[in-house]
Amino acid sequence: MAGRYKSDLKWSDVTPKRDYMNRRQLMAGAGALALGSIAGPAMASLGARKSNYGRGLELNTYEDITSYNNFYEFGTGKDDAKNNAGRLTTDPWSITVDGMVDKPGKYDLDDLTSGISLEERIYRFRCVEAWSMVVPWVGFELSDLLARVGVQSSAKYVAFETLVRPDEMIGQRRPVLDWPYREGLTLNEAMHPLTIMATGLYDEPIPNQNGAPIRLVVPWKYGFKSIKSIVRITLTDTRPPISWEMANPREYGFFSNVNPNVDHPRWSQATERKIGGGLFSKRVPTLMFNGYESEVAGLYAGMDLTKNF
Ligand SMILES: Nc1nc2c(c(=O)[nH]1)N[C@H]1C(S)=C(S)[C@@H](COP(=O)(O)O)O[C@H]1N2
Ligand SMILES: [Mo]
């Protein structure tokens, strides 16, 4: 059951997280931890400041968010990532930043992000398969990272790549996609304040199945744009190829904005099924730009969204 988010609740009042912590304590054999001491090292809380985004939305549970995933590097089943991602080494982690930037290089993740403060933002998350969740991400604006490396005026797009490491990512042993997983945004989309790099979830480090140690979250686009476990960021003046469009250009376009009026060729996008509702889960109408229309519609002024899908 999903708990309703309130900023002044202590963690112990929030049902999903309490359930999760109890399970982790048991798994760690730390069952003897007294309730009052849990806020210590065992929690690894990120201490992120809370933002106003998503206040009042009903959160999905930690369990939902971390056990129903799309992360094809670990397999194509919804539970494959949870079952197989545990073996991924995420420390050390480096990100190559290249292309049209003033300070290209291969950066250690901690160096690249040190001093950028973390914020918790509750975002609607809508998958192209017509299910949705509400997730309390912890992260920072992509624009903060881009400012550090100095975007040159010639740049028009930002391209992203995921790690390729078939030893640890067993789904990469088969050519399900043309690895690495690739994604891209226009520079305007990348600079938009709703576009974040997430490093946490429920105020804890992001679990491997959700894209540790760092992934993109673009809440007005279908979920596949939110690329996980990023190792490369490239500033470019040409539209970069993206994995799902490469695999099937008829079905997936570069923009992939959530749009209830533009159907996927094989199914409607007018409604969505909320994960976690159990037997009583009903389909609900999908909102234009996933509910972020007032913030992002201006990015597409004058564009025909049925052609630029
Ligand atoms: N590297 C990588 N990133 C990825 C995917 C993937 O298979 N590989 N799947 C995408 C899809 S289709 C969705 S819906 C979201 C799912 O994110 P979640 O598992 O955190 O809910 O991740 C996206 N990012
Ligand atoms: Mo998706």
- Listing DSSP states for 70-98 in one string gives --GGG-SSTTHHHHHGGG---SS-EEEEE
Rounded to the nearest angstrom, the gap between the alpha carbon of residue 253 and the centroid of all alpha carbons in its chain is 19
Ligand 1 contacts CB of residue 223 (under 6 A): yes
Q: Taken in order 300, 306, 308, 309, is the CA torsion positive or negative?
A: positive
Hey, is 253 helix, strand or coil? coil
Spatial separation of the C-alpha atoms in residues 81 and 66, rounded to whole Å: 9
Give me ligand 2 centre to Cα 221, in Å: 10
Write out the chain's pLDDT in tens, 309 residues. 333 333 343 333 344 443 444 333 334 433 344 444 444 444 578 999 999 999 999 999 999 999 999 999 999 999 999 999 999 999 999 999 999 999 999 999 999 999 999 999 999 999 999 999 999 999 999 999 999 999 999 999 999 999 999 999 999 999 999 999 999 999 999 999 999 999 999 999 999 999 999 999 999 999 999 999 999 999 999 999 999 999 999 999 999 999 999 999 999 999 999 999 776 778 999 999 999 999 999 999 999 999 999
Query: The pTM is what?
Result: 0.88
Helix and strand element counts for the chain (H, E):
8, 13
Question: CA 65 to CA 134: how far, in whole Å?
Answer: 9
pLDDT at residue 32, as a whole number = 40
Q: Which residues contact 304 (CB under 8 A, 6 or more apart)?
A: none
Q: Is 228 a known ligand-binding residue?
A: yes
Q: Is the CB of 66 under 6 A from ligand 1?
A: no
215 annotated ligand binder: yes
Which residue is it, tokens 């997280």? Answer: 17
Q: How far apart are CA 289 and CA 96, in angstroms?
A: 31
Residue 221 in contact with residue 256, Cβ under 8 Å?
yes
In this predicted structure, what is the pLDDT of residue 282? 80
70, 129, 160, 290: which to mutate for ligand 1, most atoms within 8 A of CB?
70
**Pair 212, 90: CB distance under 8 Å:** yes
pLDDT of residue 43: 53
Give the Å distance between the CA of 118 and the centre of ligand 2. 25
Consecutive H or E run containing 15: helix 15-27
* Structure tokens that stand for 50 in this block: 């809370």
Topology at the third CATH level for domain 11-300:
Sulfite Oxidase; Chain A, domain 2 (3.90.420)
- Those residues with Cβ within 8 angstroms of residue 226's Cβ, 6 or more apart along the chain or in another chain: 125, 183, 211, 215, 216, 217, 218
Is the separation of the CB atoms in 161 and 230 below 8 Å? yes
DSSP summary character for residue 192: S
Specify the 3-state DSSP secondary structure of 297: helix
In 120-184, which residue ranges form alpha helices assigned H by DSSP? 142-149
- Find out whether 240 and 254 touch, Cβ atoms under 8 Å: no
